[in-house]
């Protein structure tokens, strides 16, 4: 095979696969855009559930972003307990702090030590709980929802029954047979 034939074959194959790829990419992008639009509409219609999912996801994904400011506000600093803080008052009441205690673990987390793992796990657990509450609310029926579904089904059955009666009497077909019979 000559170099020209190889170039033509390669060019044809690449241009054909490129068109297929572009078509698939375009369809995928439309699908993503459609799903994104539906998700945004759902989020606007359900702000409480959206907040639960968002807060739960944040607590799970980046627990120390949440924990660090809270630990600092309580008085657990990177260089130790902050004087005059709530943590300082608790420590004065405790006296000698033992290493595996909750107080020592919180101070360790604030200072970047072994307590980070424990505090992160606790916050991720809380995030899972928050997200789960949001998810469970999706499956919970509203009080009147069952009644609405029953009413909708009843209306649909009545409409189908009425249509069947019309077809049986000849009114639902190609013309109105009652006018033909009277002529």
Cβ contacts of 166 within 8 Å, gap of 6 or more = 172
pLDDT of residue 50: 86
Does residue 41 surpass a pLDDT of 60?
yes
Note whether residue 178 is domain-resident.
Answer: no
Question: In the structure encoding, which two tokens stand for residue 167, read together?
Answer: 């077809």
Name the residue with higher pLDDT: 18 or 137: 137
Q: Which domain holds residue 125?
A: 47-140
Note whether residue 177 is domain-resident.
Answer: no
Note whether residue 106 is domain-resident.
Answer: yes
Does residue 45 surpass a pLDDT of 90?
no
Q: 10 and 80 in one domain?
A: no
pLDDT of residue 172: 47
Does residue 6 surpass a pLDDT of 50?
no
The C-alpha atoms of residue 106 and residue 126 are separated, in whole angstroms, by 16
Q: 9 and 33 in one domain?
A: yes
Q: 54 and 41 in one domain?
A: no
Task: Tell me the average pLDDT of the chain.
Answer: 77
Which has the closest alpha carbon to 69: 113, 109, 102?
Answer: 109
Note whether residue 96 is domain-resident.
Answer: yes
102-111 and 86-94 helices, crossing angle to 10°: 140
Note whether residue 122 is domain-resident.
Answer: yes
Percent of the chain with pLDDT over 70: 65
Q: What angle do CA 126, 129, 133 make, to 5 degrees?
A: 145
Model confidence at 182, in pLDDT bands (50, 70, 90)? very low
pLDDT of residue 141: 59
Q: 136 and 103 in one domain?
A: yes
Are 165 and 76 a contacting pair, CB within 8 Å? no
Note whether residue 90 is domain-resident.
Answer: yes
pLDDT of residue 19: 53
Number of domains making up the chain? 2
């Amino acid at each position: 095979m000559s170099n020209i034939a190889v170039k033509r074959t390669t060019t044809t194959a690449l241009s054909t696969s490129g068109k297929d790829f572009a078509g698939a990419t375009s369809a995928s992008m439309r699908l993503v855009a459609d799903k994104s639009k539906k998700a945004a509409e759902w989020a606007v219609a359900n702000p409480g559930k959206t907040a639960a999912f968002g807060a739960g996801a944040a607590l799970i994904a980046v627990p120390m972003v949440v924990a660090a400011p809270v630990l600092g506000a309580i008085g657990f600093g990177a260089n130790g307990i902050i004087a005059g803080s709530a943590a300082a008052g608790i420590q004065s009441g405790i006296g000698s702090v033992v290493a595996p205690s909750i107080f020592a673990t919180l101070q360790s987390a604030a200072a970047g030590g072994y307590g980070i793992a424990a505090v992160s796990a606790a916050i991720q657990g809380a995030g899972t709980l928050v997200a789960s509450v949001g998810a469970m609310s999706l499956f919970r029926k509203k009080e009147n929802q069952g009644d609405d579904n029953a009413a909708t089904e009843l209306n649909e059955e009545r409409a189908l029954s009425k249509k069947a009666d019309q077809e049986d009497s000849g009114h639902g077909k190609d013309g109105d047979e009652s006018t033909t019979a009277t002529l």
